[in-house]
Amino acid sequence: MKAPESNAVLTVYYDGACPVCSREIALYRRQPGADACAWVDASSCDGIALGPDLDAPTALARMHVRRADGSLVGGARAFITLWQSMPRTRLLGRLAAIPPLPWLLEAGYRTFLAVRPLWRARSPSADSPVTPALRAELRSDHAGETGAVCIYRGILAVTRVEAVRAFALRHLGTEQSHLEQIETWLPPQQRSRLLPAWRLAGWLTGAIPALFGARAVFGTIESVETFVDRHYAQQLDLIDALPPDPTRAELRAVLLACQTDELAHRDEAAMLGGREPPSGLLKLWCAIVGSGSAAAVTLARRL
């Protein structure tokens, strides 16, 4: 059996489902000379397009190219062959072919292949309705709801005031349900890498005011929920600015329900905290909690 007939000087087999590989191939395809090559996406083509000596798992595992004479090369040698075939990268391809560079490039390529699954898991496809910006917000929501659960655990670990315990137990249940809902939208590999820090920060944000009494706890919750309300409102605006999409509409409903709960938490804390103006120390603490929450959201969007 022969390789499929082609007039191309080179046939390039790549994994179009990999965001890194497809971005790199898109760069090559914009170069002069790209028209002389045939570009075969191994993630969506049929077996005939690959030829008898290349199966889909092998083509998806490593890049391959087929020369005009039908010979097949894979890995770093495939890149070198591709570079040599295009005018802009021809010199690079010739230099890269000088030993021991092919061996070094192959070692680098194998290292990339070893870490590629992690990269791929964190990179949603470009046409996903949950855009990268939305995914970053969801990461910060997940971090925030994780922290919120720990705030109430921190309060419950310290306070013996019955009214505060009843308040914390009620809210703990709601925050746990928020966390579970956000988790359905954010796979584990896309969650914040700093979750242990958010758990500790949340626990301290609940435990410290609980040492000072009910007024401090309610003031802290009012301040946290005021911030969280704005954070969810920004995300609703972000979704509203995007083209209509059923998946995003579903996500919007989840975020709106969370925001509604947070507003009720804020109002309940304000009501239970009483009408007396907060002390200077409580005001300072709430300012620290507010700026700490903002810094945490900024970090959790990225990490």
201 binds Fe ion (CB under 5 A): no
And the tokens for 292?
């700490």
Span of 12-20, 191-199, 203-211, 259-267 interacting with Fe ion by CB under 5 A = 259-267
Least Cβ distance, residue 262 to Fe ion (angstroms):
4
Q: Do residues 239 and 134 touch, judged by C-beta distance below 8 A?
A: yes
DSSP label at residue 67: E
By CB neighbour count within 10 A (0-12 exposed, 13-18 middle, 19+ buried), where does 277 fall?
exposed
| Residue number with CB closer to Fe ion (77 or 265) | 265
Query: Nearest CA to 224 among 169, 279, 293?
Result: 293
Token digits of residue 31: 């170069």
Q: Which is nearer to Fe ion, 63 or 228 (CB)?
A: 228
Binding status of residue 262 toward Fe ion by CB under 5 A: yes
Q: How many residues bind Fe ion (CB under 5 A)?
A: 6
CB of 151 to Fe ion, least distance (A): 9
**Smallest gap, in angstroms, from Cβ of residue 179 to Fe ion?**
8
Asked if 265 is part of the footprint of Fe ion (rule: CB under 5 A), the reply reads yes
CB-nearer residue toward Fe ion: 248 or 265:
265
Q: Which is nearer to Fe ion, 11 or 223 (CB)?
A: 223
Q: Which is nearer to Fe ion, 125 or 260 (CB)?
A: 260
CB of 182 to Fe ion, least distance (A): 9
Instruction: Show contacts with Fe ion in window 170-199 (CB under 5 A).
Output: 175, 178
In this chain, which stretch among 80-88, 113-121, 169-177, 209-217 interacts with Fe ion, using CB under 5 A? 169-177
Q: Binding segment for Fe ion among 121-129, 142-150, 186-194, 244-252 (CB under 5 A)?
A: 142-150
Q: By CB under 5 A, what part of segment 213-232 binds Fe ion?
A: none
Return d(Cα 35, Cα 233) in angstroms, integer: 48
Q: How far is the C-alpha of 3 from the C-alpha of 72, rounded, in Å?
A: 10
Residue 64 parent element (H or E): strand 64-67
Q: Least separation, in Å, of the C-beta of 284 and Fe ion?
A: 22
Task: Name the 3-class secondary structure at 87.
Answer: helix
Compute CA distances 285 → 93, 147, 290, whole Å.
61, 17, 9
**Cβ atoms of residues 218 and 270 within 8 Å:** yes
Nearest to 73 by CA among 13, 28, 21: 13
Q: Give the ranges where 213-240 is alpha helix by DSSP (H).
A: 214-240
Binders in 40-69 for Fe ion, by CB under 5 A? none
Q: Where do contacts with Fe ion occur on this chain (CB under 5 A)?
A: 145, 148, 175, 178, 262, 265
